[in-house]
Amino acid sequence: MISDKYFFDQKGKLNGLENTNKAIWRSSEAIGIISRDGIILSVTRDNYSMSRGNSRLTSRIFLIDSHVVCVVSGLIPDANFLINHARIQAQHYKQIFQKIIPLKKVLEEICDLKYYFTTRGDTRLFGVSFMIAGWNDLNNPIIYKTDPDGRNWSFWGAAIGYDSLINQDMLYEVFDIDFNINNALGIILDIFSKKYNFYDVTEFLDVAIIRKKDEKKLFFNLLNKKSMLSIFKFK
């Protein structure tokens, strides 16, 4: 059954894409910032009333290979499918070339699959938006933000999910070329504290600090509630 919403309408929009974006805007919010010596990714959880027992399993931060991290906003089952595909392709690349997969190629694998479903009329789009973070060939930290139809951009500071437009504006105001990782962390905690009561927010916020260890690996540090509170008080 070919549905009308995958053809361009009279105003030049794709209805399927618009509705998918709205679905993502209802999901958890995520902000990512790059700085000279590291990357910071932060994402809220779905049900913050639940206990933080299984923090790894309910987190929305995934590792695609030991040098690529991604954050998800939107439907988690769709994200699982895409991340699985990307993980397989990363190991396949390693098997053929005996080298770790470049970041751009991971992005291409995910976005090509997302794009494939935009040209078919009988299936729905993947309702997920990614922020894929890592270091590129020139050894610069980089964050790619992807849309559900396969568009991607690279940002110094990106926001997806709930309130993404407002968050993106707030990030534009504080842009500075010479960021330190502490500055970046401060910005993220600032943004969240302006919107919510900070003590409550630490219950359902995941902040990950990512530094580069060597060619193939990253230092990955997930902050817990105590450390977030201590950093915020120190500010």
Contact window for another protein (CB under 8 A) among 8-16, 104-112, 117-125, 198-206: 104-112
The residues in 105-134 that bind another protein, with binding defined as CB under 8 A, are 105, 108
The residues in 38-97 that bind another protein, with binding defined as CB under 8 A, are 95-97
Pick left, alpha or beta for residue 150 (phi over 0 → left; psi -120 to 50 → alpha; otherwise beta): left
DSSP string, the chain: ---GGGSB-TTS-BHHHHHHHHHHHTS--EEEEEETTEEEEEEE-S-TTS-STTTTTT-SEEEEETTEEEEEEE-HHHHHHHHHHHHHHHHHHHHHHSSPPPHHHHHHHHHHHHHHTTS-SSSPPP-EEEEEEEE-TTS-EEEEEE-TTS-EEEESEEEESTTHHHHHHHHHHT--SS--HHHHHHHHHHHHHHHS-HHHHHHHEEEEEEEE-SSS-EEEEEE-HHHHHHHHHH-
As measured in angstroms, the least distance from the Cβ of 142 to another protein is: 13
Q: Which is nearer to another protein, 85 or 105 (CB)?
A: 105
Q: Which is nearer to another protein, 57 or 138 (CB)?
A: 138
As measured in angstroms, the least distance from the Cβ of 205 to another protein is: 35
As measured in angstroms, the least distance from the Cβ of 138 to another protein is: 10
Number of residues that bind another protein (CB under 8 A): 10
Counting contacts by CB under 8 A, is residue 178 touching another protein?
no
Interface pick for another protein out of 13, 26, 36, 99 (rule CB under 8 A)? 99
Counting contacts by CB under 8 A, is residue 139 touching another protein?
no
Counting contacts by CB under 8 A, is residue 102 touching another protein?
yes
As measured in angstroms, the least distance from the Cβ of 97 to another protein is: 4
Interface pick for another protein out of 5, 52, 85, 104 (rule CB under 8 A)? 104
For another protein, the binding residues (CB under 8 A) are 95-99, 102, 104-105, 108, 137
